[in-house]
């Protein structure tokens, strides 16, 4: 059995359930408790830990009920805004689950207290995994709500410094929208065009686009390369995450709490 369960929720969210040891499991950003309970019951898993990347409702909505039903611990970076939290984590801290080591990476930008979780390589996880919540998506990054663009850029650089084989699992399926935005910045980028076509094909086949390796992340999105479209002009009122200015290419379709 693959230890990682990818659970689509709320239209474009992802919940991640990871099994380890004999029958233990942890879950990342459980927006819907019923979906998680269904899987742990089916596979006879014992939920021991919830990892929260940030406090927005679409990442924590199921945490309190899961804690009540299973007795698991809730872990995150914000004591005031994450209901039911047991352990507040900090940058560089190692969270242990049996033999698994999970490094906390503080990634302020989308929110002040956003964190990502890097599971270091092991026998069951050859490449390493990082769960990025709304800090980093396929082809894009989260909306900057509580910090400035420089803070977000420094957080993205942290994620880019992880080993290149690391598998990146993000909090939402915004892939097509993000690559369409990337082509506004770099219309001649053939790699982005190819990734966009793959994402569209995956959508047609009914499959989510939830992960990529860190090499792809650094080569196919403008937020890692620092490129922007300063020469474009429009009436957009959002700051561009790539340049930190009002270059007119910032995405405007996402919900406020993406």
**Residues forming the active site:** 54, 56, 58-59, 110, 134, 172
With 0-12 / 13-18 / 19 or more C-beta atoms within 10 angstroms meaning exposed / middle / buried, residue 158 is middle
Number of other CB atoms surrounding residue 111 within 10 Å: 25
């Amino acid at each position: 059995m693959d230890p990682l369960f990818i659970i689509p929720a709320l239209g474009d969210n992802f919940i991640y359930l990871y099994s380890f040891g004999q029958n233990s499991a942890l879950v990342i950003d459980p927006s819907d408790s019923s979906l998680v309970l269904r899987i742990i019951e089916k596979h006879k898993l014992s939920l021991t830990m919830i990892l929260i990347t940030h406090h927005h409702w679409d990442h924590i909505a199921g945490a309190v009920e899961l804690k009540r039903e299973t007795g698991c611990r809730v872990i995150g970076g914000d004591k005031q805004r994450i209901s039911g939290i047991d352990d507040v984590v900090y940058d560089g801290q190692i969270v242990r689950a049996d033999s698994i080591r999970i490094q906390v990476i503080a990634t302020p930008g989308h929110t002040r207290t956003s964190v990502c979780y890097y599971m270091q390589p092991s026998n069951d996880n050859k490449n390493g995994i990082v769960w990025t919540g709304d800090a980093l998506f396929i082809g894009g990054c989260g909306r900057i709500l509580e910090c400035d663009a420089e803070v977000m850029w420094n957080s993205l650089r942290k994620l880019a410094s992880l080993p290149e084989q690391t598998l990146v699992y993000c909090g939402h399926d915004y892939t097509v929208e993000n690559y369409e935005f990337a082509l506004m910045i770099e219309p001649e980028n053939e790699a982005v065009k190819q990734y966009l076509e793959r994402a569209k094909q995956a959508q047609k086949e009914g499959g989510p686009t939830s992960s990529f390796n860190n090499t792809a992340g650094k080569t196919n999105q403008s937020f890692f390369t620092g490129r922007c479209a300063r020469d474009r002009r429009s009436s957009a009122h959002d700051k561009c995450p790539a340049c930190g200015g009002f270059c007119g290419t910032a995405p405007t379709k996402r919900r406020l709490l993406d």
